[in-house]
Amino acid sequence: MIDEREVAALVARFGVGNQLTGGLLLVDDEPNNLTVLRGLLDDEERWAIHEAGTGEEALAIAEKIPLDVVVADHRMPGMTGVDLLERLRRLKPDVAGIILTGYADMNALEAAINRANAFRFLRKPWEAADILEAISQACAHVSQRRIIERMVTLLAERGEMLRSSFEEMKKQQQMMLHLERIGTIGRLASGVTHDLGNMVTSLREAEYQLSQHSASPELRETFTLGLAHVEKLLATLKTLQDFAHAGKLEIARAPTEPADVVRDAVTISRMDLHFRLRKLVVDVAPSLPSLQADRLKLSQALVNLIQNAVRATGKDAAIRISASPLPDGGLELAVEDDGTGVDPELRPRLFQPFATGKNSEGLGMGLYMARLIVESHGGKIRLVDRPQGTRFELHIPASAQTTKT
């Protein structure tokens, strides 16, 4: 058993504080015995002493008052001391019980040990030193038990905090890895963007020259589509480059009509032959409020969603694009298809950079870029579960709306 000095050392070491309440309950049906016990203990300022003449009265006190030790006479009418400690054990299992008896009652001793889990069994006539020592040891036992329970609780709490911190650290490590990879792409994109920009300038000149000569319409269309794809790639690279340098997207806000954003996205997507093999359904609600938004970037986000829908569907499949008001006054831009749906393994990291499923094409940056764009406008992107296919929604808050005068 740990003595009081060892208990005090544990309290100081682990900072759990004193676990004793100082409550001491004396139970005896003989008032004179209670008077003697109280007289013996009144000099000890460490205890708050309470008295009871029956087991029922003692239980009523125990329900209301914090206790450390109960000293009870065994032979009491109605409820014996052993019965009392047995019931008290269920009510307050951390309270130590001491049984006093006036004769050698081995049955009572056995019951006190087995049923009531009594801390000590003392025979009358007892010595004052024996009572004080038993109570002191019982207090040390109670303190030790409560300290251990408190330490276990603290360890569990700190273990949970450590687990949460570890999970957060893993997330931060993943994010740092993503940012490092984005930074690498940004550095690569810087050089590629420069060279690609020069190529676009040359291609535009070539496109002009084709328009001035008798080139076939098929050749001019093919050339124009190719140039459009190169320009789209250039815009994506510039966006990545800007984000890698600044850690955020620069948004050029201006009054923007939602219908124009949808129209731009459809126009750009029509340059893709695979898109033109799908059945397009466009639903733009009337009288949508104007937005303070970056029209080019919002269109780019919508194009990324449309490209996902194209890759997930086959020829003659339907792709639905919509713009509608949200109940809170915001705007919803959505792209929906009846394709293969999202790989379940991909869902937890769907909007993270470089998130690609099995047999996926590209770097896995499309949904991530869409997320960056919509979040830069103060909005959110989400995947809505459907029986078949996918539905992606961009929610732009009402705060992005323009005020009409």
Query: pLDDT tens for residues 334-352?
Result: 999 998 888 887 888 788 7
**pLDDT band for position 404 (50/70/90)?**
very low
∠301-304-310 over CA atoms, to 5°?
Answer: 145
Check whether residue 187 and residue 285 sit in a common domain.
Answer: no
From CA 182, how far away is CA 364, in angstroms rounded?
12
Evaluate whether residue 247 is within a structural domain.
Answer: no
Check whether residue 152 and residue 224 sit in a common domain.
Answer: no
Evaluate whether residue 405 is within a structural domain.
Answer: no
Check whether residue 176 and residue 306 sit in a common domain.
Answer: no
Please state the separation of Cα 146 from the chain's center in Å: 32
137's tokens: 């040891």
Q: Which of 131, 19, 111, 22 is nearest to 71 (CA)?
A: 131
Residue 21 backbone zone (phi > 0: left; psi -120 to 50: alpha; other: beta): alpha
Is 161 buried (19+), middle (13-18) or exposed (0-12) by CB count in 10 A?
exposed
Read off the pLDDT of residues 305-319 as tens digits, 9 standing for 90 and up: 998 899 889 999 999
From CA 197, how far away is CA 159, in angstroms rounded?
55
The per-residue pLDDT of the chain, averaged, comes to: 79
Check whether residue 108 and residue 184 sit in a common domain.
Answer: no
Mark which of 126, 143, 159 sits at the end of a domain.
159
In whole angstroms, how far apart are CA 206 and each of 178, 220, 294, 349? 39, 10, 30, 42
Average pLDDT over residues 234-252: 66
Q: What 3 state SS string does 169-220 have?
A: HHHHHHHHHHHHHHHHHHHHHHHHHHHHHHHHHHHHHHHHHHHHCCCCHHHH
Assess whether pLDDT exceeds 80 at residue 159. Answer: no
Quote the pLDDT of residue 143. Answer: 84
Better pLDDT: 295 or 244 = 295
Quote the pLDDT of residue 54. Answer: 92
**pLDDT band for position 390 (50/70/90)?**
very high
313's tokens: 């569907």
Assess whether pLDDT exceeds 80 at residue 243. Answer: no
Read off the pLDDT of residues 49-106 as tens digits, 9 standing for 90 and up: 999 999 999 999 999 999 999 999 888 888 988 889 889 988 898 899 998 887 656 6
Average pLDDT over residues 352-356: 69
Quote the pLDDT of residue 288. Answer: 92
Beta carbons of 23 and 88 less than 8 angstroms apart: no
Evaluate whether residue 244 is within a structural domain.
Answer: no
Tally of domains within the chain: 3
CB burial of 16-38 (b: ≥16 within 10 Å; e: otherwise) equals beebbbbbbbbbbbeeebbeebe
Quote the pLDDT of residue 199. Answer: 65
**pLDDT band for position 405 (50/70/90)?**
very low
Element (DSSP H or E) covering residue 167: helix 128-212
81's tokens: 């001391």
From CA 380, how far away is CA 372, in angstroms rounded?
9
Domain region containing 208 = 165-238
Better pLDDT: 123 or 303 = 303
**pLDDT band for position 244 (50/70/90)?**
low
**pLDDT band for position 141 (50/70/90)?**
confident
> Of all residues in the chain, what percent carry a pLDDT higher than 70?
70
From CA 91, how far away is CA 353, in angstroms rounded?
57
Mark which of 238, 269, 302 sits at the end of a domain.
238
- Give the single-character DSSP code of 284: E
Is 231 buried (19+), middle (13-18) or exposed (0-12) by CB count in 10 A?
middle
Read off the pLDDT of residues 43-57 as tens digits, 9 standing for 90 and up: 666 788 999 999 999
From CA 377, how far away is CA 127, in angstroms rounded?
82
Mark which of 204, 238, 272 sits at the end of a domain.
238
Evaluate whether residue 248 is within a structural domain.
Answer: no
Please state the separation of Cα 247 from the chain's center in Å: 24
Quote the pLDDT of residue 335. Answer: 96
Check whether residue 205 and residue 138 sit in a common domain.
Answer: no
CATH number at residue 82: 3.40.50.2300
From CA 390, how far away is CA 383, in angstroms rounded?
7
397's tokens: 């808050």
Check whether residue 18 and residue 60 sit in a common domain.
Answer: yes
